[in-house]
Structure 1
Amino acid sequence: MAAAIGLRGDLDGDDLRRLARDSRDAKQVRRLLALAVIAEGGTRTEAARVGGVGLQIVRDWVLRFNAEGPSGLIDRHAPGKAPTLTAEHRAALAQVVEAGPEPWRDGVVRWRRIDLVQWLWEAFRVSVSEATVGRELRALGFRKLSARPRHYAQDPEAAAGFQKSLPERVAEVRAAHPGKRIELWFQDEARIGQKNKLTRRWARRGARPRAPHDQRTAWAYIFGAICPAEGKGAGIVMPFCDTPAMQTHLAEISTAVAPGAHAILILDQAGWHLARALIVPKNITILPLPPRSPELNPVENIWQFMRDNWLSNRVFKGYDDIVAHCCAAWNDLVDQPWRIRSIGRRDWAQGF
């Protein structure tokens, strides 16, 4: 029979019982109480009875306690198999996903998990499954999201320059209208018609949900403008998207600008936005966006929200029905100023 191993003497029975009272680990409590019996001069058999185990297990507890103290009596999870992808692999994977594929080089226009499996093998000779790639991508913060359209001829420097120069332009308008508080507004139009959009909806896995879809072509235009800082908006619904309609919308925006304030209206360079025939109200200054830069206009996100929640998946009876639904949707939006602030806020367009 193996000789009994002595218990380290830096903690007596009272110390072990006190540690057991303070512990939140049930297994550690049981082991501390068993070792407290030994520390107080009891036999290993008595300790085994308190712990509800055999003598060999008590011996293992003593060895762990002598080597590591009370923390050695807490069970540890096995480390398991080392991950196949190292930190270097993950960093390279994140970089290549962020950059996107080059069709001429990679043979695809978007990354699929199977493509990234092949890329990891070619780049590092590391073999992983599609499930592993998907799990790693989620751990790296990637999700499969809908892409935002970007014009092929867009000038990124012009868009960045607009954001950078906005404080200077606001300062110029403020200097031209001394004593006036400046409100920053964004304007755009959306066409809503019978040939409507279908949006995502909840359905059972493996099924393809259905939604009504009209093939007729009547439509109307929502002219919308928002002031994210104030959480307010001004909109009209018109049959045409032209200069007279824009003139009417400018008048509507002008009435929504607070008394004693001056609005800077940011919009794209559509012909009816900058037509010479337009008469701009005295409390509005128009500031055009760089060409082909819709992502700078938060009203684009307003349209997406309205379509997804109020206007899509519908069959309109005719033009009057379209107008009624458009007006109801816009009025619902204006009644939720927090929604306008949330959707329309842009860090580069704040603090004016």
Structure 2
Amino acid sequence: MTITLRSAELFDVRLTFRQPIHTAISVLSERCTTILRLTDQEGRVGYGEGVAFETPWYTPETQNSLRALSPLLYQLLITAPLEGPSAVAERFRPIQGNQMAKAMFDGAVYELFAQAEQQSLATYLGGDDSQAIRCGKALGRSSVRQTIENVGLALTDGFERIKLKLAPTDTNILEQVRQTFPDAPLMFDANGSFDLSDLPLLQVWDEFSLLMMEQPFSANEWLNHQHAASILKTPLCLDESIQTTHDAALMHQLQAGQIINIKPARLGGLTAALDVRASSTYWLGGMFESGIGRRQTLAFATLPGLAYPIDMSGTNHYFIEDVLEQDYLVENGRIRYQEHPVSLERLHHLTKSRTYL
């Protein structure tokens, strides 16, 4: 089966967080994201999401760079019919980096092929959408008191893994949380905020019986991660470092980490994510994306092999208003993949500008 694209539109969407999100190096009160709407010659519609942030604090990409590259990426896709979703990665091979821009088109094409086969995206990927997916809760940086309260609420709600966003100055928070919840399945995410001089601090945190330490050093600091992994008993999980399938292979070769947080958008799309999944211990993270990106991540989560619960709260938890007709809800620490449709009314209401490619 082949698909020929007919048109493409970009929507500049602004989502408002219910509460500001504090990471180790950034504070988010509004989520600016780009929604791609691809239509093929048969009239089928597939959506993708460009989840780069407005500034390059997470990866080098930004919303502006993603939108600027989109016309070129679209032109590469319409040179000939697409023989399958993997053709997207092949067409984009001459373009270096820009993984989130590529992933936006990749996700929309996957949705078109799933519709053409009259399957859900989860089934098309080879997943089982009959089972509820175990969830973990990611908590932004806050005071000791507020963090302890939030961890308690997350455990009561049935979340099976608690991720704390922490910076090197947050030893007291981690210590107090562990004392309050001695058996809680805790981990932390540093978003690359540590440097090698903080290694003695990581050795102190190594004693808090954590599931993993996520991305302590910056994305390109492979030798720092290798050294830390060799002396810490807590497994290292890499996130920002893994932007290609080659990065995943490098992590294994250097023994610079034991776990990968797969985010299809960071890897360039679902095709690359499937490749990394095949050879790695992994779980799935979120990008504070809209329901469109969440829907595709959940479809991936229905595949067997997840080593840990995914980072996923309900869409209603993060945003005052989202672009789907129905929210994804977490109940007793579980979430179900469903193909909630896009609400065109909500999409247009939340759109600041619209571009035809």
Report the TM-score range of the alignment, normalised by the length of the smaller protein. Answer: under 0.3
Normalising by the residue count of structure 1, what TM-score does the alignment of the two structures yield?
Answer: 0.22
The structure, 1 or 2, with the larger RCO (C-alpha pairs under 8 Å, 6+ apart) is 2
Structure having the higher Rg: 1
Normalising by the residue count of structure 2, what TM-score does the alignment of the two structures yield?
Answer: 0.22
Which protein is richer in helix relative to its size? 1
Which protein is richer in strand relative to its size? 2
